[in-house]
Structure 1
Amino acid sequence: MQTHLARAAASVDTRAAIPEPFADDALVTQPQLKRLTGDVSDMTIWRWRRAGIIPEPTSIRGRNYWRAGDVRELLARLAGGAQ
């Protein structure tokens, strides 16, 4: 799991990740989250959820969504080398 985190941290561009005009309550889809964290797999997202690295998503009609504010915090942690 650390390998995926290291790879994701190296590829995160926090300036281009989520534009600031988006409210913290805006929703980010799982494909967007995967792309923002370095094109990780669905299984990696699942493992990160299970390990508590990322929060549980909100599920709407069977699709997973995360709050933009939570994703910004995750990207900042990854870029800072935390976890």
Structure 2
Amino acid sequence: MKTSKLIKEIPLASAEKGVIKIATVAEPYGEGSDPVVSVGVWLNADNEDPDWKVHIPAKNLDEVIAALQEAKNAL
């Protein structure tokens, strides 16, 4: 059963009404599927659906976090 839990909502720096929402999703693709972290970006938080969304498998989180930190340090 697909169950999601909002972890954090962050104001989007590049859009006055935009937000980034980070959530965990258990069994996102049906019973027995592995959990993911969902990252959604809304240019306007009043909209129901995000403008962009990505699901990151839980098993890839450490590597993705490390790569994001590397990208941050490169800026």
| TM, length-normalised to structure 1 | 0.26
For CA contacts below 8 A with separation 6 or more, give which structure has more relative contact order: 1
Structure with larger Rg:
2
